[in-house]
Chains A and B, each alone.
With several copies, the nearest count.
Chain A
Amino acid sequence: MAATLSLSNVSRVFGDTRAVDQVTLDIAPGQFVGVIGRSGAGKSTMLRLINRLIDPSEGSISFDGSEITTLKGKSLRAWRRDCAMIFQQFNLVDRLDVLTNVLIGRLAEHGFLSSMAMRFTDAERTMALQALDRLDLVPQALQRAGTLSGGQQQRVAIAKALVQQPKIMLADEPIASLDPANATLVMDGLKQINTEDGLTVLVNLHTLDTARAYCDRIIAMRAGRVFFDGTAAQLTDDVVRDIYGTEGLRDFNEAVTSTQRIAVPA
């Protein structure tokens, strides 16, 4: 398959825990894949393996037929650029302005001197601005990233991912630290990129509803293994109970739980 991301028998061991355990997956181009699972199931680890922020203990990952796990130096950095990563905590540089943060997505193309001097070409700047524009952030372009709200910061992170001109977009719980309104903006942004640009998107999610609403395909992990792999429709209540286990489920007072907040005009 062209431009398919394949994991075969990938494992990653931390001390005694097998964080990711013999995972085999094929992800076709253009899919919007959601990964769900309990805390500690290995979702983050899997994404980090793909981006090569950590190395697998065994197994192989390949993209478009070429092996990823053995990349080094410049070609490793090129791969990281090709599969952009978005983090739960945004991982922006608070003290740099939004524009520079987005331009960090271009660093892989830069040599030593130009990057040390923080010099970017006008074409790159334009590209960064266009990306920001898609996410409605041009007015904030010169503000320091640390002064933005969480939702804005996450959108900056997406813009940064966009200027990497990636082939795959990985997102590790991108909305976990956002309020519902911002979460919607961010998920919509990802969906838009997926449909408009045809980018493959692989996103870890904590909230089932969100996964159901956005994803073409849902993968559930449990204790490092892939436990379910199918469409939202196939994800029945029984399956969910298996994924999350039943212990600790609490029945909430409905009145309180519905945090459909009264809209707070900003």
Chain B
Amino acid sequence: MNITQDQIAKARDRVPLAFQAPLQVRVRRYALWVCFTGLFCWCLYDFNISPARIWEGLGRFGTVASFMFPPYIWTSWAEFSEILNGLGETLAIAFLGTVLGAVFAFPLSFLGAKNINRLNWLRLSTRRGYDVIRAFETLILALIFIRAFGLGPLAGILAIAVSEIGTFAKLFSEAIENTSNKPVEGVKASGGSRLQQIRYGIAPQVNPVIMSILLYNFESNVRSGTILGIVGAGGIGFLLSDRIAAYKWGEAWSIIFLIIAMVYVIDWLSGIVRQRLIGKTDLAK
């Protein structure tokens, strides 16, 4: 089947848009690309990102990375227990922070869900409330709690818990809004009250989603928990930043590996919990 110019011309006449997008679309497309590339290049310039600098930095990174091998091993229990304690505190901060955050966020999330709370003003102001909470830096929260409760992991736990209240409430209420209304209607048509509709129609749909949000955030809180130690709110972060500040890269890498290993173990465990509670089925609907 050979196509002649003639045929092309005829086809082009018939469906011109098949050959070329409309002018407006093309202009918009080019404009977008130009803006994007322009901004990008300007950033490169503004941030002074030059190949030479990258090269030099990579050289240093190579040096830093070379301290990974052989891995540093703590020889005395006194040293190692310090690290273990830091890891334990980080874990505690993440776990309790997540649990407490979820406990407070759960009831709040219903206030923010469109299909539950039909009072617009209340719903919208609740949602702004979540935003305010989320805007607090964890470090600032940590300082607030240090003043109230003193130094140590407790301040870290509460800092994470508070910032998680905002995040969880937002995510939970989105999950609630994303549920199908059909089961709710089914319960309603059988004579179920509003609460029963929520309990039987909505809760079974959101529970697995909430569970997986919890597990996911627990894992990521292990990471945020690492930085709190810097202001004295407990955890592995201080130990790590101190090593890096002292250029003890070998030890720093070993700590990083321990953090990675811990996150892995949590990931693995939460995978098991997920399997048990939610089943293998469709999480991402």
Contacts and interface: CB of A to CB of B under 8 A. Distances in A.
Are A and B genuine complex partners?
Answer: yes
Interface of A: 51, 53, 77-81, 84-85, 87, 89-96, 99-100, 104-105, 107-108, 110, 112, 115-116, 118, 122-123, 125-130, 138, 141-142, 146, 157, 160-161, 164-165
Given A91-B189, A108-B191, A122-B19, 12 more contacts: A51-B189, A81-B191, A84-B189, A90-B182, A91-B182, A93-B201, A104-B190, A107-B187, A108-B190, A118-B199, A126-B8, A160-B190
B205 interface: yes
B15 A130 contact: no
B53 interface: no
Contacts of B183: 91-94
B188 interface: yes
Interface string B44-85: 000000000000000000000000000000000000000000
The 5 closest A-B pairs by CB, nearest first: A108-B191, A91-B186, A81-B191, A85-B189, A80-B191
26 contacts: A77-B191, A77-B192, A80-B188, A87-B186, A89-B182, A91-B182, A91-B186, A95-B204, A95-B205, A107-B187, A115-B195, A116-B199, A118-B200, A125-B11, A125-B18, A126-B12, A129-B18, A130-B7, A130-B11, A138-B14, A141-B18, A142-B17, A142-B18, A160-B190, A161-B190, A164-B191
Given A93-B204, A107-B200, A164 B17 contact: no
Interface residues of B, number: 32
Nearest to B17: A142
A186 to B, nearest CB: 16
Dominant secondary structure of chain B at its interface with chain A: helix
Contacts of A126: 3, 7-8, 11-12
Interface of B: 1, 3, 7-8, 11-12, 14-15, 17-19, 182-183, 185-193, 195-196, 199-201, 204-205, 207-208, 281
